[in-house]
Amino acid sequence: MNRKQVDRLLNVIRILLSAGLLFWVVRNAGFMQIVGVARQAQPGWIVIAFALSILGMLIRAYRWKILLNAVGAQPPFRRLVYLYFVGQFFSSFLPTGFAGDAVRVLEAGEGVDRAKAAGTVIVDRLSGFIGLFALALVALPFAWSQVPAALAWGIGAASVAVMLGAALLFEGRLLRFITRPLPSALSLESKGFVGRTYTAITDCGGRAVLGAFGVSTVFNLIQLAANYCMALALGLPVTLGELMLYIPIATVVLLIPLSISGLGLREQVYVLLFSHLTAAEATALSFSAYALDLFDGLIGGLLYLVRGLFGLKPSR
């Protein structure tokens, strides 16, 4: 069996797993109960949530621009906005949350070295994680009584681990020393793609990384607000503190390439985390979070289709 056949088989397995997980979650929660929760949604809050989601995409594109500029690349902002929406389209329909990142690396444009694009995409992604878990650490003392003690300690430990891992990644010297004995294709000191990508990561510099972190904080607050608006639309008793603690966990789960766009996994995680809600309410809340990503992805798909039909080439 060759590589392409293996990939196809894995994708079929992921599709089946997504369908199986969704069936399991919906069956346990009750299809009509989920529909009943969705029917009470207030359109006004949903419109606000979608508007915030679009604003979040623009802010993320600006974050990426900061990092690209730091390594000497100067793509136009509108190009980056286009790639972020198109990337979201592919992430929404392919078996991993990293699909959009791959699209951004491959399509960054003329004059942008792919190793530099890959390095900045990694920092871009990581700065978002750092911002999410930093907010979780801020919220933890205030929301401690709202979550089980074991979960609270786990979130705290994961947040600290993310911070330490990021510090190790950006420091550069230690990881280069550790990987020195590895083959050149894997060594972070090499002149190959891996080495050049890591050089782009460390070349971003403290100023750009701090700027990206600041922008990530703004984006994460907007993302939290969008999810909170969805909870308000559904009339669910969910606090901002709970969202600040639980969304980082759900975000990490979405990166596990076991299902299509995290379908099934996300719903199960929401049911487990939002234990004070009924299974139907938690599942409906999860679907609302997916709807935000899907909405942005559909915009990206439309942009991608228009470009293909009319031969439009966004400025590079």
**pLDDT (tens digit, 9 = 90+) per residue, 26-68?**
888 888 999 999 998 999 999 999 999 999 999 999 999 999 9
CB 261 within 8 A of CB 254: yes
Burial class (CB in 10 A: 0-12, 13-18, 19+), 157: exposed
* Measured distance CA(63)–CA(61) in Å, rounded: 5
* Cα of 190 vs its chain's centroid, Å: 29
Q: How many CA atoms lie within 13 A of 280 on its CB side?
A: 13
pLDDT tens per residue across span 90-114 = 888 765 556 778 888 888 766 677 8
- One-letter amino acid at 245 equals L
User: Which residue is listed with tokens 């972190």?
Assistant: 213
The pLDDT value given to residue 1: 62
Residue 217 CA to residue 159 CA, distance in Å, equals 15
The Cα 265–Cα 11 span in angstroms is: 16
Distance of alpha carbon 160 from alpha carbon 143, whole angstroms: 17
- Mean pLDDT in residue range 286-295: 92
Distance CA 211, CA 304 (A): 30
Query: Cα(89)–Cα(56) distance, rounded to whole angstroms?
Result: 15
Q: H or E element: which one contains 33?
A: helix 31-39
Average pLDDT over residues 4-30: 75
pLDDT at 305: 86
Q: Calculate the average pLDDT of the chain.
A: 84
Cα Rg of the chain, angstroms? 20
SS (H, E, C) 77-121: HHHHHHHHHHHHHHHHHCCCCCHHHHHHHHCCCCCCCHHHHHHHH
Query: What is the C-alpha separation between 189 and 186, in angstroms, rounded?
Result: 9
CA distance 299 to 86: 8
Residue 123 has which token pair? 């920092």
What percent of the chain clears pLDDT 70, i.e. is strictly above it?
89
What's residue 98's pLDDT? Answer: 67
Query: What span, in angstroms and rounded, lies between the C-alpha atoms of 167 and 156?
Result: 17
Give me the torsion for CA of 286, 288, 290, 291, rounded to 10°.
170
Which of the residue ranges 117-121, 148-152, 195-199, 214-218 would you say has the lowest mean pLDDT? Answer: 148-152
**Residue 316 has what pLDDT?**
47
Please state the rounded mean pLDDT for residues 63-76: 89
More confident residue, 190 or 3: 190
Amino acid sitting at position 209: V
CA angle 250, 28, 149 (to 5 degrees): 45
Instruction: Say how many C-beta atoms besides its own lie within 10 A of residue 110's C-beta.
Output: 6
Plot region of 205 (φ>0 → left; ψ -120 to 50 → alpha; else → beta): left
Which of 95-99, 118-122, 222-226 is most confident?
222-226
DSSP H or E segment with residue 248: helix 240-254
Which range of 15-19, 36-40, 103-107, 189-193 scores highest in mean pLDDT? It is 36-40
- Answer for the pair 93, 11: CB distance below 8 angstroms, yes or no: no
**How many Å apart are CA 91 and CA 80, to the nearest integer?**
16
